[in-house]
Each structure stands twice: as structure tokens, then as C-alpha cells.
Amino acid sequence: MRRAALVIALCLALIPAQAMAATKTPTPTPKATAKATVKATPTPTPKATATKKATPTKKPAVKKTKRNPVKPSPSPKWPPLGFKVMDDIYYRTPSVEVMMNVAAGNTSLAKAITVCKEFSCGRLQVASLIGCVYWEIDSKVITPNPDLVGSYLTLGMLRTLAKKSAPKEVLTLVLPSGELLSGTIAVVPIGITCHQDQTTEIVPSNTYLSR
């Protein structure tokens, strides 16, 4: 903050007093005295100075970068890791975590998994080098034999027909049985067929025959 100091000078005029004589004295003739006249000196008018206008600085032009084109999805690794192979058919039993990850981006698989909240299900992933018109999976539904340790009882047979798959495409399948959900029941694939011909059967479908 600027502070301005204002100094005011007060000038006092001293006026001398004249004494009056008791006797009359001749009045002196006043002499003309030359008065000094003060001429006003003209104050120089300040000249207007041209102020230089600030020129606006131009912002550097922003270079537009071209977006990278969408890259095609990389080809799936082949042969798929962790799969068993027999007669050009690759297969494995995926973990529950893998099933959930695949189902997160596959609405049909996610819908199929909801059946497993009520019935005992199996899990399977299949793939073929040449692709398939449709898949056929035969499975056993088994449970431990309470009378003989290490042996199992067959509760029924499940036949699953699955949609077509492209060459090297990994297909993730749910194998739902007709048995109620139980921790002692397992659905075990025993036959996997990659068909190259069309069928009149309903695809996809699941047919369960209990014993």
C-alpha cells in the first residue's frame, strides 16, 4: 500500500502597527513608487505522448495427432496352453475362475451358468484346428460308491450338442445334468466329437437320461 504524506505550510502575515502623533504633522506628499508587476509565466502544456499498444501474443497452434487405427485382434495362440489333444481335438476342464472370466463377456454362457445354481454341472473347453459345424459331448454323471472306497456309481448319461466353432476357436461349455446340486456329484466327459456335417437335431441342447 502506498502512503502519501501531505505537508501543508501555513504562512502568517505580520501587519506592523503605526503610532498616532498628538500634534498635526504635515502630510507628506506620497511619492509614486514603481510597483513591480509579476508577469505570469505560461506553464508549458504537456505534450501528449503516444503510448505503444501491446500486441497480443499468438498462442502456438496445437498440432492435432491422428488417432491410431483400430488394430485387429491378435490371432489366438495355437495350440492352446494347458489343453490335452486327441485326433485334432483339444480339450480341458477349466477352473471356476476361468469360467467366470469368460462368462463376463459372453451373455449366453452367463445365462447357462445360472442353471448350475440348482443342478450339478460339468465344465469343458474344446477347440479344433479346422473348426466344427457342431460339437457332440457325451458325459457320465457319477457319485462315490458308499459301499466300495475308490469306486463310483453312474447316476445317468448326458448328451450335449454345442454350436459351431471357427478354426482354432476355444469354445467354453456348461454341461448341466438333471441331478440336483450336490458336492458329491460330478459330470465327467467321456466322448467329444467335432462334426463336419449339418444335423437336424436342435443345437444347442442337453439330453439327460438317469439310471
Q: Taking the model in full, what pTM does it have?
A: 0.64
**Could you tell me which residues are beta bridge partners of residue 89?**
86, 128
Tell me, yes or no, whether 199 lies in a domain. Answer: yes
| Res 18: pLDDT | 37
Distances (CA, A) of 182 to 92, 110, 144, 147: 22, 20, 12, 19
Q: How confident is the model at residue 141 (pLDDT cuts 50, 70, 90)?
A: very high
Spatial CA neighbour of 188 closest among 161, 155, 211? 155
Tell me, yes or no, whether 173 lies in a domain. Answer: yes
Tell me, yes or no, whether 93 lies in a domain. Answer: yes
What does pLDDT average to over the chain? 78
Tell me, yes or no, whether 38 lies in a domain. Answer: no
Cell matching residue 8: 501543508
The mean pLDDT of 15-19, rounded to a whole number, is 38
Name the least confident of 6-10, 70-74, 116-120.
6-10
| Res 56: pLDDT | 55
User: How many domains, the chain?
Assistant: 1
Tens digit of each residue's pLDDT (9 = 90 or more) over 115-129: 999 999 999 999 999
The mean pLDDT of 13-24, rounded to a whole number, is 37
Distances (CA, A) of 63 to 58, 59, 163, 189: 15, 12, 50, 60
% of the chain residues with pLDDT over 90 = 62
The mean pLDDT of 146-173, rounded to a whole number, is 97
| Res 71: pLDDT | 58
Q: What range does the domain containing 149 cover? A: 84-210
% of the chain residues with pLDDT over 70 = 64
Note whether 78 and 168 are within 8 A (CB).
yes
Tell me, yes or no, whether 60 lies in a domain. Answer: no
| Res 77: pLDDT | 82
Instruction: Please check the confidence at residue 85 and state whether its pLDDT lies above 90.
Output: yes
